Structure 1
C-alpha cells in the first residue's frame, strides 16, 4: 500500500485538511479492510478499478467512481475489485458545507455521486480533468480551482457551528458541549439543528469521534496501556474508553492491533 498526503493551498487550508492518494496493486490474498469514522467528509476519485462497501456479511454496494462520503457514525468494510488508485480531498468537519447547499445530514453513512451535489455537467468536466491529469500535483490544482469557484457561490458556515467545531478539534473532543455554550440551553437547541445541517451529525457525536481518534493514534504509536490512553484522552475510565472503541470500531483495542482487516485504517490513522 502506498498512501501519501499533501497540504492544500493557504486559501483553502481552513476548510481542507489535506489531500491524499492511495495505490494498492491487486492481490487475490488482500483482505477486506475496515474503515473507521474520523469526523471528516471526503470527496474521492477512483482512477482505476471499482471498490465495494459491505452492507452486511455478504451483501455490498459498489462505490461511484467520483463520490462524497459524508460523516460516518459507524465502521464499515471495503474491498477493491482490482487495482486501487485513488485521489481524495479530506475536509475538516465544518469544511464541506461551504461548497454545497445540500443539508449534510442527508450524506451521513452513504456514498453520494458528485453529480448529485454539483450537477451533471460540472461533475462530468471535473471527473474528466481529474482522470486525464498526469500527476497528483495537477489533480490538486484542478480540484482547488473547482473548490475556490464553488466557495465564491455559497454562503459560509454559521459562526456558532464553526466555534464549536474549532473547540472540539483543539481539545480532541473532550470539552462538554454545555461548557462550550456556557450552559445556554437556547443555544444548545439552535446548535443541534444547525450542526446536523452543516456537519451532518450532532456535536456530541463529533466529539466522541475526535476523542476516539486521539486514543487510536496513541494505541497505534505503541502505547498499549489502556488505562493510560483513557486518562490522556480524558475518558471517565478505561471501561468508558473500551465501550466507545467497540461502539465505533466493533473490536476491543487489543483485537484491533495486528488485525489484517485493520491494515488500511492503521495506515490512515497512525
Structure 2
C-alpha cells in the first residue's frame, strides 16, 4: 500500500487487465508474470508478505479467490476501515511507527478470520523445508486425509493445488539463489531439484516470463524473483 499522497498511480501493464493499482491492495499467490509500471516520481510503499493461509486467517477469504490477482483492500475490509488504515500509515512519523501500526492492525484482526487446517500447515512447512521436492503422496499419507479432501483444503488455504505450490517454491528458491551461484546454470538447476536445463527454462518462462539468462541480466531485488527495469 502507498503511504504517500499519490501524484500518479502504479499501473498493471501485463499479467492482468491493464488498470491503475489501488492505493491499498491484497494480492494473491502469483502463478504467472505480473508487470507493474511505476510512476516517474518517487513513491513510498509498505508491503506485508503473508504466509500461506494468511489471507484466510486475516480476512476469512478462501485463498484461491485471490490467486493471480490484486484486489482493492476497500472491497475486502470496507472503504471506511481501509481509508482509516491508509491515513494512519501516511500520518505516522517514521517507518518504524508504520511497521508497529500495521503489526498491531494484523494482530487485532487475526481473531476474526477463518480457522485453518493444521494438516495443510504441516504440508506447507514440509514443502518449503525441502524446497518443493518432497513427494505430495507421502505428505497426504502423513497428514492422514484423502487425496481429494487434502487438495481441496490445501487450495482453500494456499491458493493452488499442492503440486503447483511445490513448483512455485522450487522456482522461487532457485531464482533467489541464481545471482550468487558459483556453478553453471545446469549444475545449479540440478541442485534445486530440476531434471535438466530445459526443465528449469520451462519454469522460468512460465513464472517469470523470461529465460534464466535474461533473468540474470536484469536487476533483481535481493533474495527475490522480482525484477526492476
CA–CA distance in 2 between the matches of 1:229 and 1:96? 33
Moved over 6 A (4+): none
**Aligned positions of 1:93-112 closer than 5 A:** 93-112=52-71
Task: Report what 2:27 is aligned to.
Answer: 69
Q: Give the drift of 1:232.
A: 0.9
- Is the CA contact 2:11–2:18 (under 8 Å) kept in the aligned structure 1? yes
Q: Distance in 2 between matches of 1:120 and 1:128?
A: 12
Residue number among 206, 216, 219 corresponding to 2:178 in the alignment = 219
CA deviations on 1:215-270 (whole Å, 9 max, x unpaired) are 112211143512211211011222211211221112211121223xxx2x444518
Report which stretch shifted further, 176-185 or 220-229: 176-185
**What SS does structure 1 have at the residue aligned with 2:35?**
strand
Larger fraction in strand = 1
Paired residue for 1:144? 103
Give the SS at the match of 1:47.
coil
Measured against aligned partners, the alpha-carbon deviations of 1:81-105 in whole angstroms (never above 9, x if no partner) come to 2322111111122323210112221
Does residue 60 in structure 1 map to residue 18 in structure 2?
yes
TM-score, reference length from structure 2:
0.88
How much does 1:213 deviate? 1.3
TM-aligned CA deviation for residue 47 of structure 1: 2.7
Aligned to 1:20: none
Gaps (5+ residues) in structure 2? none
Paired position in structure 2 for 1:118:
77
Match of 2:36 among 66, 73, 78: 78
Question: What are the superposed Cα offsets for residues 61-116 of structure 1, whole Å, 9 maximum, x if unpaired?
Answer: 11000111111110121111232211111112232321011222111222111122
2: distance between equivalents of 1:160 and 1:186?
8
Q: CA deviation at 1:175?
A: 0.9
Task: Map 1:24-39 to 2 at 5 A.
Answer: none
**CA deviation profile, 1:98-148 (whole Å, cap 9, x unmatched):** 101122211122211112221222212111111111211111111111111
Alignment map for 1:1-270 (pairs within 5 Å)? 44-45=1-2, 47-49=4-6, 50-55=9-14, 60-81=18-39, 82-182=41-141, 187-223=146-182, 225-259=184-218, 263=219, 265-267=220-222, 269=224
Give the distance between the partners of 2:88 and 2:198, measured in 1 at CA.
Answer: 49
**Residues matched between the structures, number:** 222
Structure 1: runs of 5 or more not aligned:
1-43
1:32-70 deviation line (CA, Å, top 9, x unaligned): xxxxxxxxxxxx33534321111379x721100011111
Comparing 148-157 with 84-93, greater Cα deviation is found at 148-157
Give the structure with the higher percent helix: 2
